[in-house]
Structure 1
Amino acid sequence: MFIGWGANHILLYNDGYAPMLADRHPDALGCPFFDVWPEVQEELTPLFDAVARGEPVHMADLSLELDRPGRPREAHFAFSYTPVRGEPGDVEGLFCACTETTERVIADREASAARDRLFEMTRDLFGVATFDGYLKTINPAWAAVLDRSHEELTSRPFAEIIHPDDLATTADVVETLMQGELVHQFYVRLLKADGTPVAFAWSAVPDADPASGIFYTVGRDITEEQNREEMLRQSQKMEAVGQLTGGLAHDFNNLLTGMMGNLELLQMRLARGRTDDLDRFISAAQGAGRRAASLTQRLLAFSRRQTLDPKPTDVSRLIRGMDELLHRTVGPETIVDIVDTVDLWPAMIDGTQLESALLNLCINARDAMPGGGRITIEGGNKRLDQRAALLHDMDPGEYLSICVTDSGTGMEPQVIARAFEPFYTTKPIGQGTGLGLSMVYGFARQSGGQVRIYSELGMGTTICIYLPRYDGDAPHDAVDDASSKEIKGSGETVLVVDDEATIRHLIDEVLDEQGYTVIGAGDGAAGIKVLQSGARIDLLITDVGLPNGMNGRQVADAARALRPSLRVLFITGYAENAAVGNGHLEPGMELLTKPFTIEALCMKVADILRQPLSS
């Protein structure tokens, strides 16, 4: 600090001011101020004059050029000038408290310049935006990446360059920022001038002053990262396809060998006139066929293309009804507890597939406890908010969970990561197909749900199936004694549309034996001609996947247009789900999945013909 006394501002200062004087100290003491600092007289005279008039002067940053050996000419000071008054109250001099800020100011400027260079050079998008939807300040990367001019980007609402599907996300982020909260790692795509979307990962923070109405944001182009991830996924997919193909070929070759070998032996015996013990070969061939059918169903379940027959289902009742089956399947060394399933919400699912999924989980749980143990099946109702749904890779909403827990060996993380892959198994050769969990996963996903594995080595495993809640009541079906049903026909006429002659002739033979009249057609057009002929038709059986541009659903719709009360039975080898309404069929329509048994076909035909006619 110093005092400038009298009209010439004679300089009196303390030790703290001496370093600012450099080589002018100590000679400056007692000299007129502007004799000591002649180079700043022009800048400081107006300030000194103001003090002489009794006006204090304060400045946070005063920039001056000073001649001080070994130092830059540029100097910066923060100071205040205060009048010093004599006895009558007249201003006799001034008092200055000052701090030299040169090093800090230059360092700040250099840091700012570095930030500016980074701002100019980076490929990341830096921006200052307003809450009313405009970009206020942007770095050159915006124009370079999006092929748009700086003027276009800052003069139009930024919603115009955001992908339409990401506008809702953007609105949620802006609302959060307006509440003063930071938002990290959200994903919004921007549109280039030609409409091409570019994927960005963003972070945003509101200004410290809420009244400013602005926020700061930075976005990183993740297109290449996504491309690399997609290439990795594709590579993993091809690896899985290779594993799937190899496993499929192995299992089917075994089954085909069993079928073809037994049929060949049967043919040889008949050729030699030996008719004893033929049932053994027939049963063996049929068993191989059933295992092949089960294998294809599991594969279709994994790929989410199995034909589901979803109905409102009382899941609690279904699980309790499996109690005896589960105990019998896992054996006496394993205890099965079914708990907390009484108040479970209903679900719109294929009950048979859920039973199969639970049976698979219990078999896996049993195999994880070679010395016996406890399996617990527990149900629960869950409401998943946005955050919980994101963690489970599901949509927010209401779900019921069915969890199967064992006290077994547990699973390592790398095993959990591959558990749902088809044909992946940790069981010894010959003790598992590797399709059980993949079938469970496919069923849950196809039903709009999810499967999650929670496991720790040595502590056991919990596998939970999550299924969407059905907003309604599940009907309690009456117990059906299949053996007591009459499956014989009474001369009804059935139109069969299937491009596979073998299947068409098989259905013809079976239904003819049951007392029905059967008319066959090789494609949709031929079937429509029969329907237009005026011939009596009581039931239409049609394959879903037909050739020549008309699928089974289209045939059924055309048939209903001609004969509104016609009953329809769809048969399908896999789920052309869109064609059959994803399992949600109109009254008077039923579904039968190939391969089917003769008994199942006869039962289904009898059932649908017994249903009352719709008007």
Structure 2
Amino acid sequence: MSFLSDDHGCPGWRGEMAERIRTLDWSTTGLGPLQQWSPALRQAVQYLLASPMPLVMLWGTDGYMIYNDAYAVFAGGRHPYLLGTAVELGWPEVAEFNRYVVDTCLAGGTLSYSNKELVLLRDGQPETVWMDLHYSPCPGDDGAPAGVLAVVIETTSHIISEQRRVAAENALRITNERLQLALNSGALLGTFVWDIRINRLSGDERFSRTFGFSHEQMLEGRPIEEATRIIHPDDLEYVNQQIALAVANGSNYSAEYRIRRPNGHWLWVLASGRCDFDAAGQPLRFPGVLIDIHERKIAEEALLSLSRTLEQRVIDEVQARVAMEEQLRQSQKLEAIGALTGGVAHDFNNLLQVVASNLYLLARHEGDNPRVQARVTSALGAVDRGARLSAQLLAFARRQPLSPAVYNVRHIYEGLGDLLQRALGETITVDVQMPEEPWNLRVDRNQLENAILNLAINARDAMDGEGTLRITGANRHLDAEFCADKELVPGDYVLLALADSGRGMSAEVLRRAFEPFFTTKAVGQGTGLGLSMVFGFVKQSGGYMSITSQPGLGTTVHLLFARCHDGVDQPLGVELADDDPLRGHETVLVVEDDPGVRQTAIELLRLLGYQVEAASNGDEAMALLRQGLAVNLIFSDVVMPGRIKSADLAAWARQQHPPIPVLFASGYTREVITRNNELHAGTYLLSKPYSPQDLGTMLRTVLTQQPLAVGSVQA
């Protein structure tokens, strides 16, 4: 009976993790088979599984990870790979921290952290998290520390909420202080009494100064019309109405208006008072006070202006949100297509690789048979077209791995001139105009030249094979207004424009130009992926693409790329032997889950002279390597099943002494070895389907460690 069974009614022994622990092959780890675990370890696991808190056990000096259901939720995309994995391999981004924890607790110490800030890659992307962490030693059968029990409580949401609360309180405090200053800034400007029967207005000394009278004049009294002369013309009718209303029905008088100061400036004041009546009910006198409210009114006007501005900002934000939601829908559509495309590309390119490799092998075995050679050549052409179609789909979906480098547009025609002229024909004139000192940009040169070639072929078809294609470049500084709706950051950019003299496009065609598989060409004359591919490449490179066109007036395509201030990369050649540069003698470990691809790769490598070992996944490869298999290079597929992924295998290989170089092969990387579809530094990738020449060249490149060779060899 397993000690993890649900006998005795203990709820802590049930759950997903209990089942995973029971079914995992622990014999491949340093803990040994499950049945041989020590009583202390078994008891610790029972306690761990029964706890609702996120708990993880780090057992032994390697810290093999055993955890409960709550911790599995915290682990995110790392679960269930972490189960039975050494903690430093499971969380390599915080390996040094975990090493310190294991060493401290195995020495009998305890550790506790409150709101510990760490950067983790739970779902493939770095994220800053905060956690309460409590570590204590777990005793073995002999009572000495044998493992570490960790309580992991994530406090990220609380920390972020607290940060936002503090920011909001500070903002509210500042606002209240300003408001109180505005409301309390009023000052008494004097008192007045209007004798209604004789129409004489008198006031104290401060009131006299405010209205520009001498104190003696105010003591004698002045007609109220003289005082109202300094009231702002726009406010006078309102003031008279309020006075008349107070005199007519005895209501309280309160009026805010502007008066002209001796210096010509206008001052906001508040006049308050009431009308007194005699015994017969006739108006007798009208006392009141005058208060300076200028600062408050200025603050209110500023607040009103802010409210109006805020209202407009809300309208703008709503409109922007509608636009962003539309962009999000488009992005989600693109993401869905990208996910589907990636899966199709992976399987499709594996099929193409098997077909291509067997064709190469057939051509080698039947070297003297011209009929076989002709058929092989024809079939390889179809494989190449299939590979290009797959690459176009990945480019549109922004899933192609890029190898960007610093590039100058002066070199465009150097690399494309002959190819462009052959593709366009002699009846089309290519006019290239570049500035004297164009800025550098950072792009994948092969993809950029492929994009220009696609646009040039579209232009050729639009001109019916005759006309002028003008390719121009320019340095441009883009301001915030221009960049606002283009997902660009204001700054310096390099503009590339391709203009043709063809038939142009209608507004409806122009609106759908970037849609995948949309084409105005006849069936069989185009896939409708050309512009989509270029659009995907430009967006993936952080640029912007637009088209202007009118029927009968031709079409201009604009490509914008951010300026790069680095110098142009200088090519470094690979130093190979002159006698047979593609052959080798080293030992290569092939890691590939597809049997057909694996077998053809083995045969191609042996034909190139290499010693070959093989594994069907990362788990099998790691087992061979840990058993002492010595290899000079690991040749691995990117996307494979199993607990140990290709990226984990490569990370392990880099840590060996000396490091074991790794060459990846894939038709779709699925962000395993890329970040934003850009290859990690020091990563070598061979795109499927590949030829024997591609394979041989890339192997020699990786084995000789030439820096510039890092990247993808296109088949």
Give SS of 1:444's match: helix
Residue number in structure 1 paired with 2:392: 298
**Matched letter for residue 464 of structure 1:** H
Alignment check: 8 A CA contact 2:572 2:706 kept: no
Alignment check: 8 A CA contact 1:302 1:438 kept: yes
Residue number in structure 2 paired with 1:204: 309
CA distance in 2, matches of 1:493, 1:547: 24
Give SS of 2:590's match: strand
Residue number in structure 1 paired with 2:703: 609
Give 1:505's match in structure 2, choosing from 587, 599, 617. Answer: 599
How many angstroms does 1:231 deviate by? Answer: 7.5
Name which of structure 1's ranges 297-306 and 549-558 shifts more when overlaid on structure 2. 549-558
Give SS of 2:526's match: coil
Alignment check: 8 A CA contact 1:203 1:219 kept: no
Alignment check: 8 A CA contact 2:588 2:635 kept: yes
Residue number in structure 1 paired with 2:510: 416
**Matched letter for residue 554 of structure 2:** G
How many angstroms does 1:228 deviate by? Answer: 9.8
Are 2:409 and 1:315 aligned? yes
Give SS of 2:564's match: coil
Aligned CA RMSD, in angstroms, stands at: 4.8
Per the alignment, do residues 310 and 578 of structure 1 end up closer, same or farther by CA in structure 2, a change over 3 Å counting? farther
Give 1:55's match in structure 2, choosing from 208, 213, 222. Answer: 222
Residue number in structure 1 paired with 2:196: 44
Residue number in structure 1 paired with 2:633: 539
Residue number in structure 1 paired with 2:71: none
Are 2:477 and 1:383 aligned? yes
CA distance in 1, matches of 2:542, 2:327: 26
Alignment check: 8 A CA contact 2:200 2:223 kept: no
**Matched letter for residue 314 of structure 2:** G
How many angstroms does 1:337 deviate by? Answer: 1.0
CA distance in 2, matches of 1:353, 1:407: 25
Per the alignment, do residues 361 and 220 of structure 1 end up closer, same or farther by CA in structure 2, a change over 3 Å counting? closer
Residue number in structure 2 paired with 1:444: 538
What are the superposed Cα offsets for residues 287-338 of structure 1, whole Å, 9 maximum, x if unpaired? Answer: 2222111111001000100121222233322432211111111001100011
CA distance in 1, matches of 2:604, 2:570: 32
Alignment check: 8 A CA contact 2:506 2:551 kept: yes
CA distance in 1, matches of 2:334, 2:624: 49
Alignment check: 8 A CA contact 2:442 2:563 kept: yes
Are 2:219 and 1:219 aligned? no
How many angstroms does 1:240 deviate by? Answer: 12
Give SS of 1:566's match: coil
Give SS of 2:655's match: helix
Flag structure 2 segments of 5+ consecutive residues without an equivalent. Answer: 1-193, 203-217, 229-235, 256-295, 363-368, 708-715
Matches within 5 A, 1:8-87: 44-45=196-197, 47-48=199-200, 53-57=220-224, 58-59=227-228, 60=236, 61-62=239-240, 63-64=243-244
CA distance in 1, matches of 2:641, 2:301: 56
Give SS of 1:496's match: strand
CA distance in 2, matches of 1:302, 1:232: 16
Q: TM-score, normalised by structure 1?
A: 0.60
Matches within 5 A, 1:242-257: none
**Matched letter for residue 593 of structure 2:** D
Alignment check: 8 A CA contact 1:64 1:76 kept: no
Flag structure 1 segments of 5+ consecutive residues without an equivalent. Answer: 1-41, 78-127, 139-181, 184-201, 206-215, 268-274
Residue number in structure 1 paired with 2:656: 562
CA distance in 2, matches of 1:229, 1:342: 39
CA distance in 2, matches of 1:320, 1:531: 47
**Matched letter for residue 426 of structure 2:** P
Matches within 5 A, 1:46-195: 47-48=199-200, 53-57=220-224, 58-59=227-228, 60=236, 61-62=239-240, 63-64=243-244
How many angstroms does 1:282 deviate by? Answer: 3.0
How many angstroms does 1:603 deviate by? Answer: 1.6
**Matched letter for residue 510 of structure 1:** L
Per the alignment, do residues 484 and 373 of structure 1 end up closer, same or farther by CA in structure 2, a change over 3 Å counting? farther
After the TM superposition, list the runs of 4 or more consecutive aligned residues in structure 1 that deviate by more than 6 angstroms.
73-77, 128-131, 134-138, 221-225, 235-242, 478-485
How many angstroms does 1:75 deviate by? Answer: 13
CA distance in 1, matches of 2:436, 2:312: 50
Residue number in structure 2 paired with 1:404: 498
Alignment check: 8 A CA contact 1:307 1:593 kept: no
Per the alignment, do residues 514 and 218 of structure 1 end up closer, same or farther by CA in structure 2, a change over 3 Å counting? closer
CA distance in 1, matches of 2:464, 2:555: 14
Q: TM-score, normalised by structure 2?
A: 0.52
Alignment check: 8 A CA contact 2:519 2:526 kept: yes
Per the alignment, do residues 351 and 371 of structure 1 end up closer, same or farther by CA in structure 2, a change over 3 Å counting? closer
What are the superposed Cα offsets for residues 445-474 of structure 1, whole Å, 9 maximum, x if unpaired? Answer: 111111111223222111122222222111
Alignment check: 8 A CA contact 2:428 2:466 kept: yes
What are the superposed Cα offsets for residues 528-549 of structure 1, whole Å, 9 maximum, x if unpaired? Answer: 2233233321111122212224
CA distance in 2, matches of 1:519, 1:305: 31
Matches within 5 A, 1:283-362: 283-340=377-434, 343-362=437-456
Residue number in structure 1 paired with 2:608: 514
Give SS of 2:673's match: coil
Give 1:425's match in structure 2, choosing from 519, 523, 528. Answer: 519
Per the alignment, do residues 520 and 129 of structure 1 end up closer, same or farther by CA in structure 2, a change over 3 Å counting? farther
Aligned pair count?
432
Residue number in structure 1 paired with 2:46: none
CA distance in 1, matches of 2:395, 2:579: 31
**Matched letter for residue 512 of structure 1:** R
Give SS of 2:602's match: helix
**Matched letter for residue 64 of structure 1:** A
How many angstroms does 1:279 deviate by? Answer: 3.8
CA distance in 1, matches of 2:331, 2:703: 49
Alignment check: 8 A CA contact 1:571 1:592 kept: yes
Residue number in structure 2 paired with 1:573: 667
Report the identity percentage: 31
How many angstroms does 1:572 deviate by? Answer: 1.7
Give 2:621's match in structure 1, choosing from 527, 546, 568. Answer: 527
Per the alignment, do residues 461 and 566 of structure 1 end up closer, same or farther by CA in structure 2, a change over 3 Å counting? same
**Matched letter for residue 477 of structure 2:** R
Give SS of 1:562's match: coil
Name which of structure 1's ranges 46-55 and 354-363 shifts more when overlaid on structure 2. 46-55
Matches within 5 A, 1:576-587: 576-577=670-671, 579-581=673-675, 582-587=677-682
Alignment check: 8 A CA contact 1:240 1:421 kept: no
Alignment check: 8 A CA contact 1:493 1:538 kept: yes
Per the alignment, do residues 375 and 481 of structure 1 end up closer, same or farther by CA in structure 2, a change over 3 Å counting? farther
CA distance in 1, matches of 2:334, 2:688: 29
How many angstroms does 1:370 deviate by? Answer: 1.3
**Matched letter for residue 418 of structure 2:** E
What are the superposed Cα offsets for residues 88-122 of structure 1, whole Å, 9 maximum, x if unpaired? Answer: xxxxxxxxxxxxxxxxxxxxxxxxxxxxxxxxxxx
How many angstroms does 1:434 deviate by? Answer: 0.7
How many angstroms does 1:521 deviate by? Answer: 1.5
Which structure is larger by alpha-carbon Rg, 1 or 2? 1
Per the alignment, do residues 306 and 584 of structure 1 end up closer, same or farther by CA in structure 2, a change over 3 Å counting? closer
**Matched letter for residue 437 of structure 2:** D
Give SS of 2:635's match: strand
Alignment check: 8 A CA contact 1:444 1:451 kept: yes
Alignment check: 8 A CA contact 2:504 2:552 kept: yes
Are 2:487 and 1:393 aligned? yes
Alignment check: 8 A CA contact 1:487 1:514 kept: no
Per the alignment, do residues 308 and 203 of structure 1 end up closer, same or farther by CA in structure 2, a change over 3 Å counting? farther
Per the alignment, do residues 349 and 483 of structure 1 end up closer, same or farther by CA in structure 2, a change over 3 Å counting? farther
CA distance in 2, matches of 1:489, 1:64: 108
How many angstroms does 1:245 deviate by? Answer: 9.5
